C-alpha cells in the first residue's frame, strides 16, 4: 500500500482577454504550481476554449461555461483577480456564491453522511480575492467620490465579502502566503 498525497487544486480565475493578462496568468500559475501540496487549474490552459484563434466557434459559449464550471466544482481553493471589465470572472463569483448558498440551505435537511460531507466540503473551500488593477488599494482617500481612481460595484463587493467570509480583497502576496499555509497543511 502506498501513501498518496493529494494536492489541493486551486482555481485561478481572472481576465484572459489580452496577451499581457494571459502572460500574467501563466506567471501566476507557475508560481502557484511551485507551492508544495498545491496544483493550479488555470482556464487559460484549456486551449479548447481559450485559444481564440483556433477554438471551434460552434457551441463555444456552452463549452466555456461547462468547462469552467466543471473545473470550479473539482477545485478545493479559489483565487480570483477582480477587474471591473472582467465579466466572465465576475460571473464565476456568482456561480461560487450560488454553490455556497445552496450548500448552506441543504444543511437544514436530513442528509446522508456522504451528502453531508459533500455539502460541508463546499462550505469549507477557501476563496481569495485580489485585484491586479494598479489603482486599487493605494490608500488614497478622496473628498470627491466622483474622483476616485477605482471603485467596485457594491453588489459585487457584497458577493466578494460573503464568499470570503468578510475578508474582502487581499494582495497577491497575501494570496500566495495563504496558499503556502494550505499546501503545508497537507
Q: How far apart are CA 87 and CA 75, in angstroms?
A: 21
Which pLDDT score is estimated for 158?
97
Check residue 186 and give its pLDDT: 64
pLDDT tens for each residue of the chain, 186 residues long: 555 668 999 999 999 989 999 999 999 999 999 999 999 999 999 988 887 788 888 999 999 999 999 999 999 999 999 999 999 999 999 999 999 999 999 999 999 999 999 999 999 999 999 999 988 766 777 788 777 788 889 999 999 999 999 999 999 999 999 999 999 876
Model pLDDT, residue 137: 66
Q: For residue 93, what are the contacts with CB-CB under 8 A and spacing of at least 6?
A: 13, 80, 82, 156, 159, 160, 163
Looking at residue 8, the DSSP 8-state letter turns out to be E
pTM across the whole model: 0.91
Residue 55's pLDDT is 83
Query: 153 Cβ partners below 8 Å, 6+ apart?
Result: 84
Every domain of the chain and the residues it spans = 8-184
Measure the CA–CA gap between 127 and 114, rounded to whole angstroms. 23
Residue whose cell numbers read 446522508: 112
pLDDT at 2: 57
pLDDT at 134: 86
What does the DSSP 8-state code read for residue 149?
S
Domain 8-184: CATH class, spelled out: alpha beta
- The continuous run of DSSP H or E covering 144 comes out as none
Amino acid at each position: 500500500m502506498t501513501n498518496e498525497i493529494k494536492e489541493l487544486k486551486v482555481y485561478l480565475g481572472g481576465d484572459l482577454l489580452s496577451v499581457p493578462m494571459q502572460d500574467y496568468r501563466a506567471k501566476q500559475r507557475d508560481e502557484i504550481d511551485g507551492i508544495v501540496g498545491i496544483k493550479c487549474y488555470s482556464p487559460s490552459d484549456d486551449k479548447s476554449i481559450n485559444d481564440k484563434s483556433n477554438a471551434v466557434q460552434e457551441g463555444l459559449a456552452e463549452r466555456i461555461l461547462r468547462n469552467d464550471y466543471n473545473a470550479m466544482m473539482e477545485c478545493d481553493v479559489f483565487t480570483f483577480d477582480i477587474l471591473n471589465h472582467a465579466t466572465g470572472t465576475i460571473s464565476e463569483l456568482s456561480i461560487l456564491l450560488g454553490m455556497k448558498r445552496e450548500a448552506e440551505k441543504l444543511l437544514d435537511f436530513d442528509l446522508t453522511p456522504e451528502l453531508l460531507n459533500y455539502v460541508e466540503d463546499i462550505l469549507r473551500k477557501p476563496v481569495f480575492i485580489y485585484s491586479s488593477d494598479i489603482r486599487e488599494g493605494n490608500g488614497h482617500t478622496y473628498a470627491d467620490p466622483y474622483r476616485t481612481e477605482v471603485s467596485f460595484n457594491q453588489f459585487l463587493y457584497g458577493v466578494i465579502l460573503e464568499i470570503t467570509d468578510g475578508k474582502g480583497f487581499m494582495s497577491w502576496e497575501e494570496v500566495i502566503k495563504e496558499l503556502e499555509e494550505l499546501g503545508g497543511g497537507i
